[in-house]
Amino acid sequence: MSKSGLFKSSVGRKFAMALSALFLMIFLLQHLVINITAVFSPDTFNELSHFMGTNPAVQFLAQPILIFAVVFHFVMGMYLETQNRAARPVSYKNYKGGANSSWMSRNMAISGLVILAFLVLHFIDFWFPEINTKYIVGDMSGMHNGEYRYYEELLHKFANPARVIAYVVAFGLLALHLLHGFGSAFQSMGQNNKYIDGLKKFGVFYSIAVPLGFILIAISLYVTTLN
Amino acid sequence: MNLTLKIWRQKNADDKGQMVEYPISDISPDMSFLEMLDVLNEGLVAKDEAPVAFDHDCREGICGMCSLHINGEPHGPDRGVTTCQLHMRSFKDGDTIYIEPFRAKAFPIIKDLVVDRSAFDRIQHAGGYVSVNTSGNTQDANSLPVPKADADMAFDAATCIGCGACVAACKNSSAMLFTSAKVSQYALLPQGKIEASNRVQNMVAQMDAEGFGNCSNTGACEAECPKGISLENIARMNRELIKAKSAVKH
Amino acid sequence: MTKIDAKIPSGALKDKWTKHKNNINLVNPANKRLIDVIVVGTGLAGGSAAATLAELGYNVKAFAFQDSPRRAHSIAAQGGINAAKNYQGDGDSIYRLFYDTVKGGDYRSREANVYRLAEVSANIIDQCVAQGVPFARDYGGLLDNRSFGGVLVSRTFYAKGQTGQQLLLGAYSAMNRQISRGKIKMYNRHEMLDVVIVDGKARGIIARDLVTGKVERHSAHAVVVGSGGYGNIFFLSTNAMGSNGSAAWKIHKKGAYFANPCFTQIHPTCIPVAGELQAKLTLMSESLRNDGRIWVPKNMDDVKAIRAGKLKPTQIKEEDRDYYLERRYPAFGNLVPRDVASRAAKERCDAGYGVNQTGQAVYLDFASAIERYGKETAHVQGLDENDKALVTKLGKGVIENKYGNLFQMYEKIVDENPYETPMMIFPAVHYTMGGIWVDYNLMTTIPGLYAIGEANFSDHGANRLGASALMQGLADGYFVLPYTIGDYLSNDIRTGPISTDHKAFEEAEKEVIDRLEHLINNKGTTSVDTFHRKLGLIMWNKCGMARNKEGLTSAIEEIKALREEFWKDVRVPGGRFEFNEELAKAGRVADYLELGELFAKDALLREESCGGHFREESQSEEGEAKRDDENFKYVAMWEYTGNPADAILHKEDLVYENIELKTRSYK
């Protein structure tokens, strides 16, 4: 039996999935905290957005890592999913998955793909325009008509109810993805024993609270545009 | 009871196979599921048709030979039992019952409901043992005390009967629960610690080579395991493997 | 009659094995690589033998009819394994284990073999612990023991109710290590259909690949048969569905003497037969008799009311119950040996007191144990001992801790809650003490052919004690055979590989194929199982718990007639070159139809009652078994001559130099 590197084994790959997931979950929390300020203090939101958008450490270190994590999590996830499907070439005529496992645990690829589709929308909405403004047009000021443009642009996007609905749906699926993913990540890293019941409870709280936070922000911004 | 059976029939490994419907009547609720199949087969033989091939042996839930996927679940709807321990009282008069083989690329079908689970054996060959000779000169059994909690946990892991329900239930056909049960048993005992690193690496490598899917922690295996083998064993194996792979090689 | 040489070493009993090991020939490690050994069966005996022989350096080919060695029926053993470790300091010793085993076997086993078994027993535990077998331990981390029937010490090691499983997986793991080293070549789903004798020596087997149906020749310098017992001859037994006596019967037909075929163990505590279509019986561990009390109603009116469903057992008053074991055997009560308990149950049911529809069941009641434990626990916890509900609740908890898995198993099968109402039990066939005759080296009467574990006859006499089967299987495989086989193989170091082109292989293969063809092409009208069920009924009714001359004589005729009908009328669907379980079963039942006749013939010859063999003609006035040492203190060895009816009897006289023969009494 040849022994090879950690990431050549199924267990190692799941470990890598878990590590990238943990990184993404931390990022998600950070993103939520910044977004919350948009509801309570547009000025703070503008300042934070400008910092994140122009700080070289964030832009040229954190951002590539984040993109790598997203791409890795997606590519590896799809690779593993393909392997998993190949492991049962002939499927059951009668398969009662619901009898022994949750819907979200069996459909991580589906929730993941929806989240990915959302990310594309999200990039089109914010990231590409940002990149265009900053690095192609070359305007690093973050200003528009003498004021920070970030909050205004945000409000503008959320004036469209279709977009708000898309966001709500995507975050709903994110919640489902996290509800299984949080505990699953710790299991893949070998952490499962009677002492981590608390962690599991926190996982459920996180998985509901974070997407719900994003949803509430989207709705609140939409309501703001109505006034 | 009168029932309709939908059973997977497949002549041999190369045959395509299909579901075939068989009505069956006058089944007593006190019969075991396999006795019901015995009755069906008796009838088929009387009609000079080929009886349905299925694996079975001890018929008391310990040998791990029986392996049917019944109404969408390995070993049927009851929990904590093997197919041979399932009784017809778990069904209602008029029910339609789907009976399929355990399905996985690593468990090729031999005939009808009989599958080849030798992949499990090969995983064990890769490291499911302690390298100690039966010389008769081993040290006294009590010279190495083992904490009761560890011994009990090792026992719980060791009660795996190798039936393959974990693979059959898993949407990914993953063999993690099976492999981790053996890895855990030895990881928990002082006798097994010496070879722990090589064991987990070799057994996982063999498991992957057999074409089982990856674990996505759905927990279906634990729910369907007739012996209640815990997911904690999978976590322990993950831990053991990560530890082994990240250790500095000498 | 030829003189039988069991090759028992001379000298004092306690020195025989050591002396023998010092004197026998060895094969040097380099030469072992040139020698092949076939092992048929991979249970505790076959599995442990295969692993050890491979460790020693021999090239082993192992055969199992199941899909993996791990499925062998040793896996179903529940209670435990005896070993004279004396960890409890309760006065156990090698001699005491030896003595208990010989006495429990009703003085029909060979002293030297049993002593050796007791001698190596301690080592089995050491070996298994070293392999990582998770035996039960106490809070100090040391091994725990429990007691079993028929003995006065606590010497049984266990792993909950799954000791057989854990020990078998231990042997399986030892095999796996050798398989990965290439020293064992494993043939799963292969069934041995004959042994091949070349120039008077066992040199190989003919086996059928059960998946492809192909008949194969396999050669070796020696053949070891560890294929288990033949309890399934009764159709209904606690054996696995596939357990069969064919390997043993085939070697018998090729010249290996069959010893004491009538010695069968009928286990007293099994779940009763529920319907005509039942395929197998389930054992409830002997350990239950520690706490359960066995009874039937005293009054026939109550029996009738119970059968009619008008009365529940819990409604019968204490004074109207007949605790017949406690009544008849006050000293041992419910813990008499298995043969005695089984016969007593049969006596009550024959008298009409059976408590289920078929009249074939007695109660095993835990109510008083629940109350006793409940009161004890209440006392310990300082609670009210007179609170009935509380006491019952606490008591049930204690019982659940001890026997939870068995109670759950019972409830699953019978659909009644044994915590609330007494269990119904009845004796069932469990183990066969009889088997292939072997000498002290475990070699059969065919040179180079060995029989180990339940397949041989050696250690249990006429009745086996609980937790001794596992001990014997592992003793034979790990510690006895690997030494003794070397003595024989030392002559084979220059033989070179055995060719399968020899005429003997050709002939054996042809015989096997002819028989398979015959079965497939017979195109009769009756299924294999129907014949098996019929045979089982004859065996159970006439060669079961009580036997008499008339019944045995007619059994012989009935079996003969059934056998003739079988060959004329059996229907085997399908073809020869496919996975065909009916064909495999047909071959096994055909063998049982011959073995059954020899079984009855042996039982007819033995006009005494001993252990599991009870001849109604030989009993005391109180209905207890009466042994006849003057005329039957021997091993009956049968030589095959072409027909079971014409088998020639040889006798190995049993010599007791270290134990005084006594009448067993449990009163």
CB atoms within 10 A of CB C641: 11
User: B194 and B158, same structural domain?
Assistant: yes
CB of B209 less than 8 A from some CB of C: no
**In this complex, which chains have at least 3 CB pairs below 8 Å with chain C?**
B
pLDDT of chain A, 227 residues: tens digit per residue: 344 688 899 999 999 999 999 999 999 999 999 999 999 999 999 999 999 999 999 999 999 999 999 999 999 999 999 999 999 999 999 999 999 999 999 999 999 999 999 999 999 999 999 999 999 999 998 888 889 999 999 999 999 999 999 999 999 999 999 999 999 999 999 988 766 788 889 999 999 999 999 999 999 999 999 87
User: Is the predicted pLDDT of residue C518 greater than 70, yes or no?
Assistant: yes
Question: Are A93 and B100 inside 8 Å of each other by CB?
Answer: yes
Question: Are B214 and A190 inside 8 Å of each other by CB?
Answer: no
User: Between chain B and chain C, how many beta carbons pairs sit less than 8 Å apart?
Assistant: 209
Beta strands in C453-596 (DSSP E): 526-527, 570-571
- Residue C214, CA distances (Å) to C184, C191, C192, C578, C579 in order: 21, 11, 12, 8, 10
Question: Are C123 and B46 inside 8 Å of each other by CB?
Answer: no
SS3 B109: strand
Please answer whether residues C592 and C232 qualify as being in contact, where contact means their C-beta atoms are separated by less than 8 angstroms.
yes
DSSP assigned state of C577: S
Mean pLDDT of C29-43: 97
**Shortest Cα–Cα distance, B74 to chain C (Å):** 18
**Shortest Cα–Cα distance, B42 to chain A (Å):** 26
SS3 B16: coil
CB of A145 less than 8 A from some CB of B: no
DSSP assigned state of C465: P
- Choose among A95, A99, A187: nearest Cβ to B231: A187
Residue C405 banded pLDDT, cuts 50, 70, 90: confident
| Angle CA C510–C514–C519, to nearest 5 | 150
**Structural domain includes residue B139:** no
Question: Are A187 and B235 inside 8 Å of each other by CB?
Answer: yes
- Choose among B89, B133, B141: nearest Cβ to C129: B141
Question: Are B72 and A3 inside 8 Å of each other by CB?
Answer: no
CA-closest candidate to residue C580, choices C214, C228, C41, C241? C214
Residues of chain C with CATH 3.90.700.10: 269-429
**Shortest Cα–Cα distance, B232 to chain C (Å):** 18
Residue of B nearest to C172 (CA): B129
User: B69 and B26, same structural domain?
Assistant: yes
Question: Are B224 and A100 inside 8 Å of each other by CB?
Answer: yes
User: B98 and B14, same structural domain?
Assistant: yes
At C160 the pLDDT is: 85
**Structural domain includes residue B236:** yes
Residue B6 burial (10 A CB sphere; 0-12, 13-18, 19+): middle
CB of B125 less than 8 A from some CB of C: yes
Residue of B nearest to C571 (CA): B45
Residue of A nearest to B97 (CA): A94
SS3 C440: coil
At A1 the pLDDT is: 38
User: B152 and B127, same structural domain?
Assistant: yes
DSSP assigned state of C399: H
- Residue C636, CA distances (Å) to C104, C112, C145, C259, C614 in order: 19, 18, 36, 5, 16
Look up residue A5 and give its amino acid.
G
Please answer whether residues C77 and C473 qualify as being in contact, where contact means their C-beta atoms are separated by less than 8 angstroms.
no
Mean pLDDT of C314-329: 95
The torsion angles phi and psi of B163, rounded to 5 degrees, stand at -80, -30
The torsion angles phi and psi of C21, rounded to 5 degrees, stand at -60, -35
**Structural domain includes residue B11:** yes
At B250 the pLDDT is: 52
User: Is the predicted pLDDT of residue B69 greater than 50, yes or no?
Assistant: yes
As given in the structure block, the two tokens for residue C188 are 């799963």
The torsion angles phi and psi of B154, rounded to 5 degrees, stand at -60, -40
d(CA C86, CA C122): 9
Residues of chain B contacting C179 with CB distance shorter than 8 Å: 125
Torsion angle (degrees, nearest 10) of CA C555, C556, C561, C566: 90
Q: For testing the chain B interface, which of A15, A19, A82, A101 should be mutated: the one with the most B CBs within 10 Å?
A: A101
Query: How confident is the model over C60-100, as pLDDT tens digits?
Result: 999 999 999 999 999 999 889 999 999 999 999 999 999 99
Question: Are A80 and B234 inside 8 Å of each other by CB?
Answer: no
Residue C397 banded pLDDT, cuts 50, 70, 90: very high
Residue C331 banded pLDDT, cuts 50, 70, 90: confident
User: B161 and B90, same structural domain?
Assistant: no
User: B236 and B150, same structural domain?
Assistant: yes
* Annotated active-site residue in C70, C328, C338, C348: C338
**Structural domain includes residue B138:** no
The torsion angles phi and psi of B65, rounded to 5 degrees, stand at -75, -40
- Choose among B71, B204, B206: nearest Cβ to A11: B204
- The percent of residues above 70 in pLDDT, for chain B, comes to 98
User: B186 and B79, same structural domain?
Assistant: no
DSSP string, chain A: -----GGGSHHHHHHHHHHHHHHHHHHHHHHHHHHHHHHH-HHHHHHHHHHHHH-HHIIIIIHHHHHHHHHHHHHHHHHHHHHHHHT-SS--SS--GGGTS-HHHHTHHHHHHHHHHHHHHHIIIIIHHHHIIIIII---S-EETTEE-HHHHHHHHTT-HHHHHHHHHHHHHHHHHHHHHHHHHHHHTT--SGGGHHHHHHHHHHHHHHHHHHHHHHHHHHHHHH-
Mean pLDDT of C179-206: 98
CB of C607 less than 8 A from some CB of B: no
Q: Is C348 a catalytic residue?
A: no
CA C48 to chain centre: 17
- Choose among A10, A96, A105: nearest Cβ to B204: A10
Query: How confident is the model over C437-450, as pLDDT tens digits?
Result: 999 999 999 999 99
Sheet containing strand C321-322, edge to edge, reads: C264-270, C423-432, C362-365, C293-297, C321-322
At A131 the pLDDT is: 93
Q: What is the third-level CATH fold of C503-653?
A: Methane Monooxygenase Hydroxylase; Chain G, domain 1 (1.20.58)
User: B170 and B66, same structural domain?
Assistant: no
Question: What is the span of the domain harbouring residue B54?
Answer: 3-111
Residues of chain B contacting A77 with CB distance shorter than 8 Å: none
User: Is the predicted pLDDT of residue B116 greater than 70, yes or no?
Assistant: yes
User: B129 and B228, same structural domain?
Assistant: yes
d(CA C166, CA C76): 10
CB atoms within 10 A of CB B182: 29
**Structural domain includes residue B209:** yes
Question: Are A5 and B174 inside 8 Å of each other by CB?
Answer: no
Which CATH number covers residue B199?
1.10.1060.10
Residue A32 bridge partners (DSSP): none
User: Is the predicted pLDDT of residue C663 greater than 90, yes or no?
Assistant: no
Look up residue B110 and give its amino acid.
I
Q: For testing the chain B interface, which of A7, A10, A182, A195 should be mutated: the one with the most B CBs within 10 Å?
A: A10
Beta strands in C407-468 (DSSP E): 423-432, 435-436, 449-451
Query: How confident is the model over C47-66, as pLDDT tens digits?
Result: 999 999 999 999 999 999 99
- Residue C394, CA distances (Å) to A216, C313, C365, C376, C385 in order: 53, 22, 17, 9, 10
User: Is the predicted pLDDT of residue C231 greater than 80, yes or no?
Assistant: yes
**What's the first-to-final CA gap in chain B, in angstroms?**
66
As given in the structure block, the two tokens for residue C233 are 């001859």
User: B126 and B183, same structural domain?
Assistant: yes
**Shortest Cα–Cα distance, A211 to chain B (Å):** 22
At A195 the pLDDT is: 67
User: B125 and B107, same structural domain?
Assistant: no
Mean pLDDT of C400-405: 83
At C1 the pLDDT is: 47
Residue of B nearest to A105 (CA): B218
d(CA C25, CA C350): 56
CATH of domain C269-429: 3.90.700.10
**Structural domain includes residue B155:** yes
As for how many domains chain B has, the answer is 2
Mean pLDDT, chain C, rounded, equals 95
Sign of CA dihedral C234, C238, C242, C246: negative
A171-175, B95-99, C193-197, C335-339: range with lowest mean pLDDT: C335-339
CB of B176 less than 8 A from some CB of C: no
Which CATH number covers residue B24?
3.10.20.30
As given in the structure block, the two tokens for residue A125 are 């909405």
Contacts of C561 by beta carbon, 8 Å cutoff, 6+ apart: none
Residues 100-119, chain A: which have Cβ within 8 Å of B?
A: 100-102, 105-106, 108
User: B194 and B167, same structural domain?
Assistant: yes
Q: For testing the chain B interface, which of C42, C117, C237, C581 should be mutated: the one with the most B CBs within 10 Å?
A: C581
Q: What is the pTM of this model?
A: 0.96
Residues of chain C with CATH 1.20.58.100: 503-653
At C2 the pLDDT is: 56
Q: Is the ipTM of this complex over 0.85?
A: yes
Residues of chain B contacting C574 with CB distance shorter than 8 Å: 50
At A2 the pLDDT is: 42
